[in-house]
Structure 1
Amino acid sequence: MLVCCTHASGGQIVVVKKRPLTLTPCEPVLRQIQSTMGWNSSSTVSTGFPVVVVCLAALLLSNALIYLYLDSVYQTDEQLVSSHVGCVPRHFKMATMKNCTPWLQCSQINAEVRKLKLIGQGAVKKVYLAEWQAQKVAVSKLSSVDYLEDFLHGLSMLQALQSPQVVQLVGFCLEDHSVVTEHHPHGSLLNLDVVFAQEQHQQHNTWQTRLRLSMDYVSILHYLHNSPAGRRVMCDSNSLEKTLSQFLLTSDFHLVVNDLDALPQVDPSRGLLVKCGHRELTGDFVAPEQLWPFRDKGKPFSDDLMPEYDEKTDIWKIPDITWFLMGRVPGGDLVHFHLFQIHEECKKDDPKLRPSALDVLKVYKSVYSSMVRDSAGFRDIL
């Protein structure tokens, strides 16, 4: 509750409030309103009732502006990640570049891209930090011809799915099985807490930033489930660590999906379903339909008898990923409270009863907006 009053001698406006609340002082705002509306300052301030009304209106207006600003941060930050959106197909433009450039081909990669050091290695590829025309890039090289099919699948997905949600493709060379992509110095999501622990990034370690990262994650799932290349399932997600390794943390604290080597297509209407690998999956992280259904009966696993499934396996994993992304920050418990119901729906044993990624994203955005609004002081004022 707020009380506005005037001091008889100087016309000073005093704001008295029951609970601590960061508010814009109403006198400067009042003076601005008086000037804009052409009111007489002395007559207005000398009368108690108009001052109370105008003061409350000014406070509501100032906090509304705070809310609108904070609520726009997410949209503004999205634009920072999307520097290549204006490029025509098969072109790229990184943040410090003025113009879009065609994807680099073999001759350019061999002559202009200089590898600096090895920064990652998996079964399918080795990843090097490299430099191209003073731009830092990542070069992925095939590790073994045994995984050539996976490597080529990942490249085809990178080509087909270029968008703000996917790491930017800079070029590729099929002759020596190399792919060049934009480099993100923070690395994968596995590094999230390490990055936030650094002094220069501690100010970003808030529930707002972390919830926006969760929104990015769900937005990426929504894009993959409705992509130009059909409905895709993230099959390299059989554990929390493996799933986190598929995403990169951008310099402005957003997410892009990076590893698309295991992204099969599903289409339930045509009976097109998938199995993520040919080995038995175990644990609570994977969806129930990904578990061997005859284990309790003592029947040994058989890939031929293992039922197939669809993209709702990705939905099952959303609460676990968001729990990690939120970490332990002030306000995080309240976020989990607001997301409890939608997360319960994500964990339905029957995949048909789970929400779509878009349904989840709508709830996340609603929670984000309402919490930003509340933090701007609307409830305390009203």
Structure 2
Amino acid sequence: MAKCHPLLTCEDIEQFKFSEEIGHMGYVKEVWHSYWQKFPVVVKKLRTFDLAGEIAGPGYLQGINLMKNFYKPSVLLQLVGHCNDTIVTEVHRLLDARDLEIRFKEYPLYNTLQTRMQLCVSYVDILRTLHSGHDGKIYVQCDAKNLQKLAGQFLFTEDFRLVLSDVDSMETILVNGTNRKLIKCTDWGEVKGYFPAPEELWPYKGGYDASKLPLYDEKIEIWKIPDMCWYFLGDDVSTLQLKRSLNDINNQCKNRNPRKRPTAEQVYETYLTIYQDIIKK
């Protein structure tokens, strides 16, 4: 955005007229459609009048800085402007990945193995970028208690790829050579079930205490890759052979020992090879 026009300022944003409320994204933000010089945009404003907004405030402001300064902006929702707790972004009219099957019904020509595997590749491509440590930081998405919650963090582009739209709940692992400052995702309480990585679960007897939860790293996201990819591939019988070809790398992702899981880069390379094989066939 900044290469073709300066980011919009408070003065620019004050002139916006809100045409349609999209809804509350996680009950933290008010989200509206609007226009800037006839270009459709989305306007998001932090809900500061309730507890959820107050809790999310620091992460929300941190997310704005990430969108402004991230070294590879193509994987993130494009920032158009911001003013205090209001941000303006590009529009993706296919909305988020929770509506996957609805979108394929609306656009049946895209409902192919190639497009579905493309989504798996796109998802892991975003992870490998966030995990690259390019600026001495590894970014981990903490707002991922279950599959639907995580899917809601990503928007579809018009050619059925993904962009990460919600960066309010990113934790940062600082990397200094081989030294790392590890993290734990505790803002929204205890996580349970099969979807979170084993190291995210409360490991002790007795009541949950966030302060005593052990630390972990970005490998919690590697654990979730197979579930997300299976979601993108769907349940049709035509995906069975493709899923069998993914079993080896996906089983590695599900290793209960995080140190034995592959990196996002390694998963990406394997997924990309399988995707390219689909195209050749």
Fold similarity call, TM over 0.5 = yes
1:330, distance to aligned residue in structure 2 (A): 6.0
Matches of 2:169 and 2:182, distance apart in 1: 14
User: Over aligned residue pairs, what C-alpha RMSD do you find?
Assistant: 1.6
1:124, distance to aligned residue in structure 2 (A): 2.3
* Equivalent in 7, 12, 18 of residue 115 of structure 1: 18
SS of alignment partner, residue 238 of structure 1: coil
Q: Is the 8 A contact 2:67 2:73 kept in 1?
A: no
Identity among equivalent pairs (%): 34
1:329, distance to aligned residue in structure 2 (A): 4.3
* Equivalent in 205, 226, 233 of residue 111 of structure 2: 205
1:344, distance to aligned residue in structure 2 (A): 0.1
Task: State the match for 1:245 in structure 2.
Answer: 152
Q: Is the 8 A contact 1:154 1:261 kept in 2?
A: yes
1:150, distance to aligned residue in structure 2 (A): 2.1
SS of alignment partner, residue 89 of structure 2: strand
* Equivalent in 120, 123, 138 of residue 214 of structure 1: 120
Stretches of structure 2 lacking an aligned partner (at least 5 in a row): none
The one-character-per-residue Cα deviations of 1:320-358 (angstroms, maximum 9, x if unpaired) are 000000113464112111100000000000000000001
1:188 aligns with 2:92: no
AA at the equivalent of 1:102: P
AA at the equivalent of 2:173: V
1:170 aligns with 2:74: no
Q: Is the 8 A contact 1:129 1:136 kept in 2?
A: yes
Label 1:366 to 1:235 Cα distance change in 2 as closer, same or farther (>3 A): same
| More displaced 10-residue stretch of structure 1: 299-308 or 238-247 | 299-308
Task: State the match for 2:41 in structure 1.
Answer: 137
The one-character-per-residue Cα deviations of 1:118-145 (angstroms, maximum 9, x if unpaired) are 1121332111111111111110101125
Q: Is the 8 A contact 2:59 2:170 kept in 1?
A: no
The one-character-per-residue Cα deviations of 1:77-125 (angstroms, maximum 9, x if unpaired) are xxxxxxx6xxxxxx16xxxxxxx111101111112x3211111213321
1:221-232 aligned within 5 A? 221-226=127-132, 228-229=134-135, 230-232=137-139
Q: Is the 8 A contact 1:115 1:129 kept in 2?
A: yes
Label 1:271 to 1:357 Cα distance change in 2 as closer, same or farther (>3 A): closer
The one-character-per-residue Cα deviations of 1:239-278 (angstroms, maximum 9, x if unpaired) are 1011001000011211100000011111464341111115
AA at the equivalent of 1:262: S
Matches of 1:369 and 1:117, distance apart in 2: 41
Q: What is the total number of aligned residue pairs between the two structures? A: 270
Matches of 1:185 and 1:164, distance apart in 2: 17
SS of alignment partner, residue 322 of structure 1: helix
Task: State the match for 1:158 in structure 2.
Answer: 67
Q: Normalising by structure 2, report the TM-score.
A: 0.92
SS of alignment partner, residue 233 of structure 1: strand
Task: State the match for 1:66 in structure 2.
Answer: none
Structure of higher CA gyration radius: 1
Q: Normalising by structure 1, report the TM-score.
A: 0.68
Task: State the match for 1:15 in structure 2.
Answer: none
1:299, distance to aligned residue in structure 2 (A): 2.2
Matches of 1:349 and 1:330, distance apart in 2: 29
Q: Is the 8 A contact 1:275 1:308 kept in 2?
A: yes
Task: State the match for 2:202 in structure 1.
Answer: 292
